[in-house]
Amino acid sequence: MQWRCRDRIIDLTRPVVMGILNVTPDSFSDGNRHATRAAALERAAQIVREGAAIIDVGGESTRPGAGAVDEDVEISRVVPVIEGIAAMSEIAISIDSSKPKVMAAAVAAGACIVNDVNALRAPGARTRAAQAGVGVCLMHMQGEPRTMQNSPHYTDVVLEVTEFLQSERRKCIDAGIAPESIVLDPGIGFGKGLEHNLTLLRELPRFAALGAPLLVGVSRKSFIGRILGKAVDERLYGGLALAALAVSDGARIIRTHDVAATHDAVRMVGAVLQGLEA
């Protein structure tokens, strides 16, 4: 299994880790910790050392209740960091954005992946992604970040998320994005209540069977805190349990803040499931 991202092929024969690098002042977990270019590049170097295959750079928080950020402000945050990472490492760089202008600027700076919580539904987003030949991650989200956790409702959450991902994947292919460039994300924690999240996690094999690699992000999510009674910085073990579960159920990419620990957990599950030489 492979993920084609511009002139790069990411091998997904074994599951890999996508390390989160938020360069924002207000992210729920690490807001303002990497808001300067120097701090962001220091963290990026650490993510590389810890074994990630991808760095996902975000300049706008998507936490519940987060406010919108002007696209030029977002560009000013992410482009210098992406340029710096590209200059110091061969690691694949992803831009976490829903704005076509930001996507284009990030790709010009060295990104080869667009990770969009809005599944490339903004006008012009699919066309730009197709023209650039980037890898894309299409995520399901009910609503938008500012309001997504205000009483999310589903009749059948698995069916509705499945139908959305299948539909958006088809639209991307019709727009010229190569099928092998698309991965899917059920959007754990994005417009979902506690039971929705648990149901989606129980049913991950259904998403892994949709014909595209599956990305799962559960790192430090609020529902872990709700179940375990843990603060944001105390959710590592819960997140590792879910990462191991996701990989055993077919996820090929795990997006996380906690790269070193998650890399080890994912690697161990892979060794058990596939053997050392697979």
CB proximity list for 211: less than 8 A, separation 6 or greater? 169, 179
Give the start-to-end residue ranges of the domains of the chain. Answer: 2-274
| Structure confidence at residue 40 (pLDDT) | 92
Q: Is 255 a catalytic residue?
A: yes
Per the confidence metrics, is the pTM higher than 0.85? yes
What DSSP element (H or E) covers 20? strand 16-22
Span 236-260, mean pLDDT?
97
Buried b / exposed e across 171-185, counting CB within 10 Å, b at 16+? ebeeeebeeebbbbb
Which residue among 126, 128, 221, 235 is the active-site one? 221
Q: Which fold has domain 2-274?
A: TIM Barrel (3.20.20)
Which residue among 43, 99, 252, 255 is the active-site one? 255
What is the edge-to-edge ordering of all strands in the sheet holding 215-217?
182-185, 135-139, 113-116, 92-96, 54-58, 16-22, 253-256, 215-217
Q: How does DSSP classify residue 151?
A: S
Least confidently predicted of 16-20, 140-144, 222-226: 140-144
| Size of the chain, expressed as the number of residues it contains | 278
Q: Residues 223-242: pLDDT tens digits?
A: 999 999 999 999 999 999 99
Q: Residues 72-92: pLDDT tens digits?
A: 999 999 999 999 999 999 999
The answer to whether 11 touches 180, Cβ cutoff 8 Å, is no
| Structure confidence at residue 61 (pLDDT) | 79
